[in-house]
Structure 1
Amino acid sequence: MTFNKKILLSLLAVLLLQAAVWWLTVVPKAMTILRQEVAARAMVQSRQIAELDTLRRAVSVGDVDAVKALVDGLYAVTDADFIVIGDKQGHRMAHPIAERIGEPIMGGDIEAALQSGEHYLSESVGSLGRSLRYISPIVDDDGRVVGMIKVGYLIDTLTEWKRVHWWPIFIIAISTVFFSSLFTLVISRWIRRGMQGLEPDQLVRMLDLKRVVLNATHEGVIAIDKQNCIVECNRNAAHWLELTTGNGTPFSVIGANVDDVIQSDGFCSARSRDISDAMAQFNGKTVIASRVHLGEPLGGCVVSFRLRDEISLLTQQLSQIRQHTESLRIMRHEYANKLTTIGGLIQMGNTDKALALIDLHSAGQQRLVDQLAVQCQLDMLSGLLIGKYHRAQEQQITFKVAEDSAVSSVPLGLSEEALCAVIGNLIDNSFTACAPNAGCVELFISDKGAEFVISVTDNGIGIAADEVNHVFQMGVSSKSEQGHGIGLYLVKRYVEEAGGYIEVDSEPGMTNITIYIAALKERVQC
């Protein structure tokens, strides 16, 4: 027998068993509820009628005609099968069958009402048959029991009600079983199509192969569905993000909401756009991660990542190469223009102007070099600032380092490469905000106090008030070209990793970004 036939027969058997259990459980329960409902109706009517002043006076004086007339009027507004009124001696004063008025009340259950004045529910056999009735005493104005009232429903009536109300339910149940059987057949065929005609052992082998491939992947891989729940997580992801139990054994995160397991500031979200090789924080660890959506009908996304430590050295080296390349390009362009000008002046025989131009250029750069030699003891940072100086000249922007700047060590939690990345991105951001010929950017950097301070001020267009809290988010930029909106995000990441904080003060024509990080106590000795 194939797996699909077993599924069909099993589902049908379970369905029939559930139907039988439901019928055997619900029917007695429903009958109990029906009896309780009828008892409640009888109680309310019995107590209310017993309180009628006209009834109490008529029973007190033994006025049978008045009692009978009153009860006959009540039959028009009640669904009870009978209302029996009895006097103190237990003789009928009102009864559905007029010929039985004056006879003793049957059932043997009225003594407690007549003698003790009790209210109670009783099931007994009377002159009309077995019934469920509620008995209440009738008392006069002096509080003496002068009679009793019995409001009841015949058991045959309850049985008839059950038959009337349960036939539709029985028909619905049979119809439900029939249509559920058809649905089970459809489900069986759907399972067959979903399994692509494969048997369970074949699917198990495919699943094992998929897990082996995932765990053999060096990157951490996490698959997330449309509801932001984890559907797959390989061994490296669990190890790097410490998704383990107390004894180091990885625990299952499959089915858990990704935000409950991985703190990623929204990076691991099925509703975010695709992104490649972005820096992110997963459970406090810096990673280089990519996010790719799976598309419909699957939905969700796959996040792959590696710890930044594994590629940070290569990234830093590439960053330095790019900075040096950019500096060399700018310097080549600048020197090519100046050499052309100097060559033209010499050819014209105007050597004095040529020498003056050489002295002017040499003096400007030499002043910066001399200033950095005194203020900055970090060679990599000095090289970066010289490169930014040349770039500023190319863009016709004034760039200067504050005279009271002084730095001899990197702050706690930052390498010199990371420090250069932070300062470089801040300066580039200011260059972008400034207009050519009128732009001015000033850098202040100091490690002399308890905090390492980096401050960059420019006279650019400024940052709108409603954007100040968003400029450090990934992808936020004043430029529309792809690839922007990363620099300030990286600055924020580096600063947060070092335990520092950022202050922004901006208005049209002036923007200041200041960073505070704990300073390194032991500084480089020069």
Structure 2
Amino acid sequence: MLILWRRPKLLGQMIGLISMVVFLTILFVSAIFFTLMGDLAEKSLGSQAMTVAKMAAQNETIIQAFDDPNPPLRIQPIAESIRQSTGAGYVVIGNKHNVRYSHHITKHIGKKMGTSSRESLSAGKSVVYKGTGISGSAIKAKAPIYNKKGEIIGVASVGFLTTEVDKARNAYWLKLLCFTLFISLFGITGAVTIAKRVKKLIFNLEPEEISFLFKEKEATLESIRDATIAVNNDHHITSINKRARNLLEGQISEKGKITNSRLVGMAESIIDQKTSIVRQRFLFGHQLYVADGAPIWQNNQTKGAVLTIRPVSEIEKIEEEMSAVKSITDNIRAQNHEYLNKLNTIYGLIVLEQYDEARSFIADEVKERQDVVVFLTSSVKDPYIAACLLGKIHRSKEMKVHFQIDEDSNLSVVPSSFDTKLFVTVLGNMIDNAMEAAVRLRGDEAVVRVSFTDIGHELIFDIEDNGPGIPLEEQDRIFEEGFTTKDGDNHGIGLAIVKNTLQKLKGDLYLSKSSFGGAQFTITIPKA
């Protein structure tokens, strides 16, 4: 039967890996410690053996006993006393001919020592070494014995058997084994805990599943037609699709941070207020976009924001047009009411047979509208600009603004290369801004005057109002996207659109003080 091998899951792999690392670490540390422990034990026993050997070599009774007819008689008891008190394996005293005067095994007294004592007897050196003698393997120390004349008369040889080293090593090894088992158990428990913690943080997903989700997220981002960007709390981009990269070209720093001040402000507002923001208008190049944003949540804390940017779509344009139609409908309803009142007045004059007054009343009403249409038709040869001005005249009546067009204005020569469809967005924005500014300050006494001429090499338009004007410190900022003196959101776009559109038309815009006390904007566009 064929048995298929299955790769262990991430939890098992992590537990196995951490446990193996802990086990190998303990194994190597134990081996090193065990080796060092043996070396240290041998050095310690060697030092101890040398101390005992020098102590025996300097013992006055032992030195005096060398002159006795039978030296072992006095030396043997002393040597044995030293051996037993120090725990040495043996303490041997020998003469300069290497003959033993003492030994813990008495039958070896009087016989030659099993190892050479040449260095101690000839050169007077004290030496430590490891060797094997009749007592077995031992750590040995030999020290020369001097008489009162300073002559070498013998040698003291002390040995600590290596069985003592083995005993000490085994004792340490048992303790180390217990410690190793404890650390291993602790390490495996920690490995299981850490592995489960990691699995919880990655939502119990396997590496293959994480990889698939990452690719799926990447494909999903790229499939979204809108520009989509995700940023963290430091404004570093964490996700971005191709459309967003193209849109924000030149507005992303080398460190991956957004440099567009309005987008940064929008992200900060979402993160700080922990709420979504919709339908914020932005200007990229000459195109108007709408941005939506939502916070990224983790552990009930905002960790960033997702921004979706899309161009003003046809649906949104239709919505705006529907709003405009609704406004026009309301205006027509108001005009209908006004005309109904005037018709009732005319009807009353006719019933009262005041025919002259009725004719005069009708003539005045017709003349006002006819004069406007005739003036625009004769003075403005471009139908788009004329229609724009006519629409603003009706708009001014809705807003109760005294809208004036300079009677000396003339625009009879408009080059065929001049994009009037693009220009009317500039003219319309400037007139709307002027009327809103005047109404905010003056109310029903708001005045806006427009004049234009095509004399010379440029088309020149002047729009002035009796509003509050533009303070000197704000004149350099009014064309920045997002800068506004109005309350509420989605302002600060109009003049930015004007500036970008004029750049496309190769035109200029100048700001000065109006003769009415407000602001005067002068637009100049070259004919060629």
User: Smaller-chain TM-score range?
Assistant: 0.5 to 0.7
Instruction: Confirm or deny that 1:190 pairs with 2:186.
Output: no
Distance in 2 (CA, whole Å) between partners of 1:180 and 1:346 is 108
Give the equivalent residue in structure 2 for 1:56: none
8 Å CA contact 2:283–2:493 kept in 1: the answer is no
| 2:282 matches 1:280 | yes
With the length of structure 2 as denominator, give the TM-score of the two structures: 0.54
Higher relative contact order (CA 8 A, sep 6+): 2
Match for residue 360 of structure 2? 356
The aligned residue for residue 395 of structure 2 is 391
Equivalent runs, 1:200-215 vs 2, <5 Å: 200-215=207-222
SS in 2 for 1:372: helix
Runs of 5+ consecutive residues of structure 1 not aligned to the other structure: 25-177, 244-251, 522-526
What residue in structure 2 maps to residue 66 of structure 1? none
Q: 1:403 aligns with which of 391, 401, 407?
A: 407
Q: In the alignment, does 2:263 pair up with 1:267?
A: yes
1:301 maps to 2:305: yes
C-alpha displacement at 1:443, in angstroms? Answer: 0.8
Report the CA distance between 1:234 and its aligned residue: 2.0
Structure 1 residue 456 displacement after superposition:
0.9
**Which entry has the higher C-alpha Rg, 1 or 2?**
2
- Per the TM alignment, residue 354 of structure 1 is displaced from its structure 2 partner at its CA by 2.6
Matches within 5 A, 1:115-514: 188-239=195-246, 256-259=256-259, 264-267=260-263, 270-272=267-269, 276-282=278-284, 284=285, 286-296=287-297, 297-307=301-311, 328=332, 331-332=335-336, 334-407=338-411, 415-432=419-436, 433-434=438-439, 435-473=442-480, 479-480=486-487, 485-506=492-513, 510-514=517-521
Which whole-Å deviations, capped at 9, do the CAs of 1:21-45 have from their partners, x for residues lacking one? Answer: 9xx9xxxxxxxxxxxxxxxxxxxxx
CA distance in structure 2 between the partners assigned to 1:389 and 1:222 by the alignment: 43
CA RMSD of aligned residues (A): 4.7
Unaligned runs of 5+ residues in structure 2 are 1-7, 33-184, 271-275
Please tell me whether the aligned partners of residues 507 and 525 of structure 2 are also in contact (alpha carbons under 8 angstroms). yes
Residues in 1 aligned to 2:514 and 2:13: alpha-carbon distance in whole angstroms: 74
Q: CA deviation at 1:199?
A: 0.9
Distance 1:180 1:406, change over 3 A: farther
Whole-angstrom distance in 2 between the partners of 1:180 and 1:327:
81
Q: Deviations over 1:176-209 (max 9, x none)?
A: xx99999877654432112111111122222232
SS for the counterpart of 1:361 is helix
Shift of 1:266: 3.1
CA contact (8 A) 1:224 1:231 kept: yes
Q: 1:361-381 CA distances to partner (integer Å, 9 max, x unpaired)? A: 222222221221122122232
Offset of residue 472 of structure 1: 4.4
CA contact (8 A) 1:440 1:459 kept: yes
Whether the 8 Å contact between 1:268 and 1:303 is mirrored in structure 2 is: no
SS, match of residue 6 in structure 1: helix
> Number of paired residues?
356
Query: How big is the shift at 1:504?
Result: 2.8
The alpha carbon displacement at 1:519 in A equals 2.7
Cα distance between partner residues in 1 of 2:356 and 2:405: 31
* 1:165 counterpart residue number: none
Contact 1:451–1:516 at 8 Å: present in 2 too?
A: no
How far is 1:457 from its partner?
Answer: 0.5
> Retained in 2: the 8 A contact 1:461–1:508?
no
Confirm or deny: 8 A CA contact 2:289 2:312 kept in the other structure.
Answer: yes
Distance in structure 2 (CA, Å) of the matches to 1:339 and 1:16: 103
1:245-291 alpha-carbon deviations (Å, 9 max, x no partner):
xxxxxxx99972222xxxx4532552246654454344x46241313
| Partner residue, 2:105 | none
Distance in 2 of aligned mates of 1:449 and 1:180: 90
CA contact (8 A) 2:460 2:522 kept: yes
Change over 3 Å in CA distance of 1:299–1:441 after alignment to 2: same
Superposition deviation, residue 314 in structure 1: 5.9
Equivalent residue letter for 2:262: G
Distance 1:333-1:414 versus aligned 2 partners, 3 A rule: farther
Alpha-carbon deviation of 1:219? 1.7
User: Given that residues 283 and 481 in structure 2 are in contact (C-alpha distance below 8 angstroms), is that contact kept between their aligned partners in structure 1?
Assistant: no
**1:53-103 CA deviation, whole Å, 9 max, x = no partner?**
xxxxxxxxxxxxxxxxxxxxxxxxxxxxxxxxxxxxxxxxxxxxxxxxxxx
CA spacing shift, 1:479–1:230, aligned 2, 3 Å: closer
Q: CA deviation at 1:408?
A: 5.4
User: What is the rounded CA distance, in whole Å, between the counterparts of 1:295 and 1:513 in structure 2?
Assistant: 46
Deviations 1:310-367 (A, max 9, x none): 7898689668757865764564454344334433433444333332222222222222
AA partner of residue 462 (structure 1): G
1: CA distance between counterparts of 2:506 and 2:24? Answer: 63
* 1:421 counterpart letter in structure 2: T
Q: Secondary structure at the match of 1:454?
A: strand
Partner deviation per Cα, 1:218-264 (whole Å, 9 max, x = no partner): 22222222221221122333455669xxxxxxxx99972222xxxx4
Once the two structures are TM-superposed, the CA of residue 439 in structure 1 deviates from its matched residue by 2.5
Change in 2 beyond 3 A, CA 1:272/1:496: farther
Equivalent residues of 1:457, 1:513 under 8 A apart: yes
Question: Could you tell me the TM-score, scaled by structure 1's length?
Answer: 0.55
Q: 1:332 to 1:409 in 2, by over 3 A?
A: farther
Q: Percent identity?
A: 25
Do the aligned partners of 1:410 and 1:419 also contact (CA within 8 Å) in 2?
no
The match for 1:62 is: none
Distance 1:267 1:518, change over 3 A: farther
Q: What are the Cα deviations for residues 110-144 of structure 1, in whole angstroms up to 9, with x where unaligned?
A: xxxxxxxxxxxxxxxxxxxxxxxxxxxxxxxxxxx
Match of 1:101 in 2: none
Shifted more, 233-242 versus 369-378: the winner is: 233-242
Q: CA deviation at 1:442?
A: 0.6
**How big is each residue's C-alpha offset from its partner over 1:392-422, in whole Å with a ceiling of 9 and x where there is no partner?**
3344432122234333577999853443232
Report the Cα distance in structure 2 between the residues aligned to 1:197 and 1:235, rounded to whole angstroms: 31
Write the distance in 2 (CA, Å) between the matches of 1:272 and 1:498.
35
Post-superposition offset of 1:441: 1.0
CA contact (8 A) 1:462 1:509 kept: no
Task: Return the letter of the residue paired with 1:440.
Answer: V
Cα separation, partners in 2 of 1:239 and 1:12, compared to 1, 3 Å: farther
